[in-house]
Amino acid sequence: MNTEGRMRIAELSKRSGVSVPTIKYYLREELLMPGELSSPNQATYHDEHLRRLRMIRALIEVGGVSVAAIGQVLAAVDGPELSTFELLGTVAGALDKQPQTPTEDIEWTRARAEVDAALSRRGWQGGRDSATDALVEVLVRMSQLGYDTWASEGLDAYLDAAERVAEIDVEHALRASNRADLVDGAAVMTILGDAALGAARRIAHVHVSAGRLGHLGEREN
């Protein structure tokens, strides 16, 4: 990382587009590492601070991640010694949206069985983590809205697509040469990847529906 750029907080604010009070807030919350004291009242910041600020803003502005969750992600770097796999899991857990609390009524039970079956067809382990719960919740809501066939017709395609992008994501994250970069890469890939996939899906909707409706003739409902 280039550490040539040395700057005062005002310049850090200008280059990052983050206000000075907000930078001070991130310093207090320990999301941003302290600058180097050049005098008792003056700190100098580096390109590393600029990059960290950009990462914080990407997580907040693109992913709506909370300051508390970012703190948890960053704490993983200095936390107890974890294997790489556990470290990736800690980052993912901190960034997870909490799905609706699963109830144990018949709809949830059926949806969970469908998800478990789909995962086990791929040789993936099912389970009760928050991502699996979130997928079960989608199936319950789809079914309540009358889209019952989605579980049998859509779920596998979604898991295929997810596996395809996960290979890219993990490949990128594992290129990190140290623990801090691994955590950083995993967080960035998770949040920016969500945004990229959502945007790509919307672009694909336009393309696919244009093809379908152009090819089959305009269907007037």
Show contacts with a copy of itself in window 125-154 (CB under 8 A): 125, 129, 131-132, 134-135, 137-138, 141-142, 144-147, 149-150, 153-154
Closer CB to a copy of itself, 41 or 83, in the complex:
83
> Which tokens is 121 given?
């067809």
Residue 75 interacting with a copy of itself (CB under 8 A): no
Closer CB to a copy of itself, 37 or 200, in the complex:
200
Show contacts with a copy of itself in window 5-44 (CB under 8 A): none
Closer CB to a copy of itself, 38 or 125, in the complex:
125
Residue 80 interacting with a copy of itself (CB under 8 A): no
Q: Closest approach of Cβ 170 to a copy of itself, in Å? A: 5
* Residues touching a copy of itself, count (CB under 8 A): 94
How far apart CA 22 and CA 28 sit, in angstroms, is 10
Q: Closest approach of Cβ 158 to a copy of itself, in Å? A: 5
Residue 89 interacting with a copy of itself (CB under 8 A): yes
How far apart CA 120 and CA 126 sit, in angstroms, is 7
Q: Does residue 183 contact residue 73 with C-beta atoms inside 8 Å?
A: yes
Closer CB to a copy of itself, 13 or 190, in the complex:
190
* Burial per residue of 149-163, b for 16 or more beta-carbon CB atoms within 10 angstroms, e otherwise: eebeeebeeebeeee
Residue 83 interacting with a copy of itself (CB under 8 A): yes
CA distances (Å), origin 135, targets 64, 101, 141, 191, 198:
20, 12, 10, 18, 16
Residue 51 interacting with a copy of itself (CB under 8 A): yes
- Per CB under 8 A, the list member of 75, 124, 148, 152 interacting with a copy of itself is 124
Q: Which residues have CB under 8 Å from 140's CB, separation 6+? A: 107, 108, 111
Backbone angles phi, psi at 216, to 5 degrees: -90, 0
Closer CB to a copy of itself, 37 or 174, in the complex:
174
Backbone angles phi, psi at 4, to 5 degrees: -65, -45
Single out the residue of 66, 177, 158 nearest to residue 150, CA to CA.
158
Show contacts with a copy of itself in window 160-199 (CB under 8 A): 160-174, 176-179, 181-182, 184-185, 188-190, 192-199
Q: Closest approach of Cβ 145 to a copy of itself, in Å? A: 6
